[in-house]
Amino acid sequence: MSDERTSIAMSKPAVGEAGRTGDWRNKRPVLTAEKCSAVKLGKPTCQLCWVYCPDACVSRGIGPEFDLEHCKGCGICAEMCPTGAIAMASEAVHGVCEI
Amino acid sequence: MTGNEAAATAAKLARVQVVAAYPITPQSPVVESLSAWVESGELPAEFVAVESEHSAMSVCIGASTVGARAFTATSSNGLAYMTEQVWWASGARLPIVMCVANRALAAPWNVLNDQQDSMSVRDSGWVQLYCRNNQEILDTSVQAFRMAEQLNVPVMVCYDGFLLSHTVMPVDVPSVEQADAFLPPRPKPLQVVDPADPRNVGPVVMADPRRDGDGVMQPGYMEFKAMHHRALLDALEAVPAADAEYAAVVGRSWGGLTWEHLLDDAEVVLVAAGSVGVQLTLVAERLREEGVKAGVLGVRCYRPFPAAALAAKLAGRKLAIVFDKALSYGYEGPICTDLRAALCAEENAPAVFGVVCGLGGRDTSPGDLADSVRRAIADAHAGARTRATEWLGLRLEGGAL
- CB contacts < 8 A, A to B, total 66
Q: Are B274 and B280 in contact (CB under 8 A)?
A: no
B contacts of A11 (beta carbons < 8 Å): 199-200, 203, 212-213, 218
* Contact status of A2 with chain B (Cβ, < 8 Å): no
Looking at the domain assignment, is residue A72 inside a domain? Answer: yes
Q: What is the pLDDT of residue A1?
A: 32
Which domain does A88 fall in, by range?
A: 18-93
Residues of A in contact with B223 (CB under 8 A): none
The ipTM (two decimal places) reads 0.83
Looking at residue A17, its pLDDT comes to: 85
Tell me which residues of chain A, numbers 12 to 51, contact chain B at a CB-CB cutoff of 8 Å.
12-19
A27 found inside a domain: yes
Domain B3-182 shares a fold with domain B258-398: yes
CATH number at residue A85: 3.30.70.20
Nearest to B191 among A10, A15, A19 (CB): A10
Instruction: Decide if A8 touches B, using CB distance below 8 A.
Output: yes
Residues of A in contact with B206 (CB under 8 A): 19
| Cβ distance of A19 and B210 shorter than 8 Å | yes
Tell me the nearest-neighbour CA distance from B286 into chain A, angstroms: 50
- CATH placement of domain B258-398: 3.40.50.920
pTM of the model: 0.93
Best B88, B193, B200, B222 member to test A by mutation, with max A CBs in 10 Å, is B200
Given the candidates 3.10.180.10, 3.40.50.970, 3.40.50.720, 3.40.50.300, the CATH classification of the domain at B3-182 is 3.40.50.970
Task: Please state the domain count of chain A.
Answer: 1
Distance CA B337, CA B328 (A): 9
Residue B216 is nearest to which of A1, A8, A18, comparing CB atoms? Answer: A1
Residues 6 or more apart from B236 whose CB is under 8 A from it? Answer: B257, B301, B304, B306, B308, B309
Flag whether pLDDT at A2 surpasses 70: no
CB nearest to A8's CB, from B93, B212, B213? B93
Enumerate the residues of chain B whose CB falls inside 8 A of the CB of residue A4. Answer: 190
Nearest CA distance, A76 vs chain B (angstrom) = 22
Tell me, yes or no, whether A8 lies in a domain. no
Q: In B149-221, which ranges are E strands? A: 155-160, 200-201, 210-211, 217-218
Beta carbons within 8 Å of B349's beta carbon, 6+ residues apart = B311, B314, B315, B343
Measured CA to CA in angstroms, residue B394 lies from B293, B361, B363, B370, B372 at distances of 27, 12, 11, 15, 12
Cβ contacts of B228 on chain A, cutoff 8 Å: 7
Asked if residues B279 and B363 have their Cβ atoms less than 8 Å apart, the reply is no
Candidates B192, B204, B219; nearest CB to A18? B204
Closest CA to B360 of B105, B122, B56, B85: B105
Q: Where are the domains of chain B?
A: 3-182, 258-398
Per DSSP bridges, beta strands B268-272 and B319-324 are parallel
Quickly count: other Cβ atoms within 10 Å of residue A37's Cβ.
18
pLDDT exceeds 80 at position A6: no
CA pair distance A33, B27, nearest whole angstrom: 64
Q: Which residue of A has its CA nearest to B91?
A: A8
Residue by residue, pLDDT tens for chain B (401 residues) are 999 999 999 999 999 999 999 999 999 999 999 999 999 999 999 999 999 999 999 999 999 999 999 999 999 999 999 999 999 999 999 999 999 999 999 999 999 999 999 999 999 999 999 999 999 999 999 999 999 999 999 999 999 999 999 999 999 999 999 999 999 999 999 999 999 999 999 999 989 998 888 888 999 999 999 999 999 999 999 999 999 999 999 999 999 999 999 999 999 999 999 999 999 999 999 999 999 999 999 999 999 999 999 999 999 999 999 999 999 999 999 999 999 999 999 999 999 999 999 999 999 999 999 999 999 999 999 999 899 999 999 998 766 55
A42 is a domain residue: yes
Q: Are B45 and B16 in contact, with CB atoms under 8 Å apart? A: yes
Contacts of B230 (CB under 8 A, 6+ apart): none
Which residues in chain A have Cβ-Cβ distances shorter than 8 Å to B192? Answer: 5, 10
The beta-carbon neighbor of A7 closest among B190, B200, B205 is B190
DSSP tag of A83: T
Report the pLDDT value the prediction gives residue A99, as an integer from 0 to 100.
63
Residue A38 falls inside a structural domain:
yes
